[in-house]
Amino acid sequence: MIIKKYSFTFVISALIIISIVFAVPSADAAKKRNAHVHKKQTRGTAVTKVSRQRLQPLSKNPYLGAIVIDADTSKVLFEDNADAKGYPASVVKMMNFLIILEAVEAKQITLQDKITVSAEVAKIGGSEVYLKEHEVYTVDDLLYALMVQSANDAAAALALHLSDSKDEFVNLMNKRARELGMKDTVFRTVNGFPPGKGLMPDVSTPRDITKLSQEVLKHPSALQYTSTKERLFRAGAQPFIIRNHNHLVRNFEGCDGLKTGYFRAAGFSIAATATKNGKRAIAVIFGSVDRRVRDAKARKLLSESLMEIASNLPAPGVSVAQGDTAFMNEQMQN
């Protein structure tokens, strides 16, 4: 009985020792796995933080800068920090748009030219119409995609149709900007896409964008694109309908353009134009922290400015630019 008792005790002890021996490596392995996962997660978080800090955010509440002009006379009706340099984001596409329209009018290309989508274009992300390699669209189709859907892939396809490379097209954009007197503008992309690592963003000001807007409006066909609320872009079992990113086109009477822009560091920007009683105003707002604030400000400024143009008197609550004091005094005396 004593032998059996000791044998039983020995077996139990042996099992406990074996369990401990095998358990220790398992615990060590688990720690190593957890440490590896933690290290991987930490490394991923660090990369994300670095990428987010790459570009200094410039957006403010209610905006970084704003300006309103009479489209016909260039008279400044309102300005607030109008020369502030910001990131125009997709507002850049207006220059792409202008150059293509000018090329069409110069008969360098036609609206019915067919563009075959390249692999490079098909890989572009962000706001897009999901162009696929080897698909074929006309210049006209892609201009609607550019100005209604704000499609980055359409912007690249149009640029490459006119130029040998995107860099060459960007050179055209900067040359045209200089010709228009956009002295504080530097374009670096064909679409306003946020810069990748080691790259610089597009830069402009509200005042410069009014000059670009005025030039775009000189082309009779421009507003047929910018005023489009929605349009069928791709037919099929699941039709793709593009919808205008400029909400003022849908909910502000008389608004028929022009272009919105956004990425995180840039904030929400807009170049908007509207008419009333045959008069036209252009409002540009840069770097708002909120889309609804941007749209509300643009709506208010356009409404007040159109009233001012119509009456030839300063609208209530609208600031008057320097140099207009004599105009105000003259009106007060009359």
Positions annotated as catalytic residues are: 90, 93, 150
Q: Which residues pair with 255 in a beta bridge?
A: 274
**Contact between 280 and 71 (Cβ < 8 Å):** yes
> Which SS3 state, helix, strand or coil, does residue 96 take?
helix
Residue 169 tokens read as 């097209």
Amino acid type, 136: V
CA distance 193 to 121: 13
Neighbours of 225 (CB within 10 A): 22
**What is the number of other CB atoms lying within 10 angstroms of the CB of residue 142?**
26
Measured distance CA(327)–CA(238) in Å, rounded: 57
Report CA torsion sign: 130, 134, 138, 139. Answer: positive
Q: Which residues contact 200 (CB under 8 A, 6 or more apart)?
A: 188
Report the SS3 class of residue 233. strand
What does the block give as tokens for 205? 């000001």
SS3 content of the chain, % helix, strand, coil (to 5): 45, 20, 35
Largest CA distance in the chain: 127
